[in-house]
Copies of this chain bind each other. A is one copy, B any other.
Amino acid sequence: MEKGLKGNMLIAQSGGPTVVINQSLVGALTEAKKHKQIKGIYGSLNGIKGVMEERFIDLRKETSATLSRVAFTPCAALGSVRKKPDEQDCAEIFKILQKYDVRFFFYIGGNDSAETTNILNESARKVSYEFRCFHIPKTIDNDLLENDHTPGYASAAKFVAMAAMGDNLDNVSLPGVKIDVVMGRHAGFLVAASALARVNGEDGPHLIYFPEKPFSKEQFLKDVEKVYSKLGRCLITVSEGISDENGEAIASKFTKEVDTHGNIQLSGTGVLGDLLADMIKKELKVSRVRADTFGYLQRSFPGIFSEVDAKEAYEVGKIAVKYAVAGNLDGSVSIKRKPGKKYSAYFELVALNRVAKNTRSMPAKFINRQGNNVTMDFIDYAKPLVGTLPDIGKLKRYPVKKR
């Protein structure tokens, strides 16, 4: 019975966009076409919201020319949503899935989307609705449990590293203190990637702050003063999720908006950067202090992606379908790394409830003892994922003899 299940497939995308999320869609779709037990291949528009509203599109009709362009286009081609279904939603959803004879369901997203997938899967078991239910990983935050890293992360990390490279050069040109706020609600992987910007000895970012370490205003000001008095400039990258010792996000003191998963809005506002800049201006009497918040560009900027990331995002979509048609009932595709010097990854199916809801943080060994920089362990971890960065030239600056 298991292996012989036949019916239609439904795939949807959920949560914040990434630059490679459509690779997973196209990977899954391409694989699905190879299997006779999969009849119709439908896409739901805007995740489970689209399921509830029966807004389905026929993905079999899309040409391969369209699909190969879509694969390299950032952000959810099917539209996305941030919605956690309750019991009543699930009941409605199963009526609709049954009506459309959906037997293969794939949800591309982060931990909240894994939770949604898990809720749907458990509800299906309760009503004995037979279907295959898979979560395909995606998040720039890189915070999914059971994964070495997640599709979307490396491309966002590349953007952050390039942005920090440029901003370091900007800070050399016109010295002062510059703060760059980087995405990452609970995990510092993305802000950590700014360290890849360093090419030459005194390159910034000189200080990096993570959500994993309690943020102390006093220590922060001391750190900045130390760098600034030595170099006459200071480039700082800060996670949007930095929190005080009670775990309250610094930025959350200024914003109250939450989504249905209970997440506070940290992105799409410049308030944290401005707060930190004002603090430095006032307390350290540095005149030129600026703050930028990299914002949505980190997850949506077209044309900048990691080759490894694009390839793996395609693979996790493809392999999810393979797992489904091979008779597996449910699960989440996870990416593991083979031990050894040369980077190599493999995939494993893990239980939905092991990636749902909770998130992982940066391992302690990736952050230095002072909590204001990454370690070489992190660089070794991130470098092969991100790949080549732009070549940065620098004048040797041979001094002219004073007259």
Contact = CB atoms under 8 A, between A and B. Distances in A.
A292 B297 contact: yes
Contacts of A292: 268, 270, 293, 295-297
A165 interface: yes
A237 to B, nearest CB: 13
Given A76-B173, A169-B73, A270-B274, A45 B393 contact: no
A202 interface: no
B291 A392 contact: no
Interface stretch (A64-72, A211-219, A348-356, A376-384): A64-72
Contact of A172 (B79, B294, B403): B79
Nearest to A63: B396
A395 B163 contact: no
Given A75-B172, A174-B80, A398-B57, A391 B69 contact: yes
A269 interface: yes
A270 B271 contact: yes
Interface residues of A, number: 86
Interface string A45-84: 1000000001011110111001111111111111111100
A392 B57 contact: no
A113 B393 CA distance: 24
A371 interface: no
A397 interface: yes
Nearest to A73: B393
A49 to B, nearest CB: 11
A33 B280 CA distance: 45
A390 B302 CA distance: 7
A66 B395 CA distance: 7
Contacts of A169: 17, 73-75, 300, 302
A17 B178 contact: no
A391 B66 contact: no
Given A61-B396, A395-B78, A290 B267 contact: yes
B270 A57 contact: no
Interface in A78-94: 78-82
B291 A294 contact: no
Contact of A70 (B72, B290, B395, B403): B395
A147 to B, nearest CB: 22
B393 A69 contact: yes
B166 A393 contact: no
A43 interface: yes
A40 interface: yes
Interface in A235-284: 257, 265, 267-271, 273-274, 277
Given A74-B166, A400-B42, A296 B172 contact: no
A288 to B, nearest CB: 9
Contacts of A390: 302-303
21 contacts: A17-B174, A19-B166, A43-B395, A56-B399, A57-B398, A66-B395, A69-B391, A70-B395, A71-B393, A74-B170, A76-B172, A77-B395, A163-B297, A166-B300, A167-B297, A170-B296, A170-B300, A257-B287, A265-B290, A270-B273, A303-B390
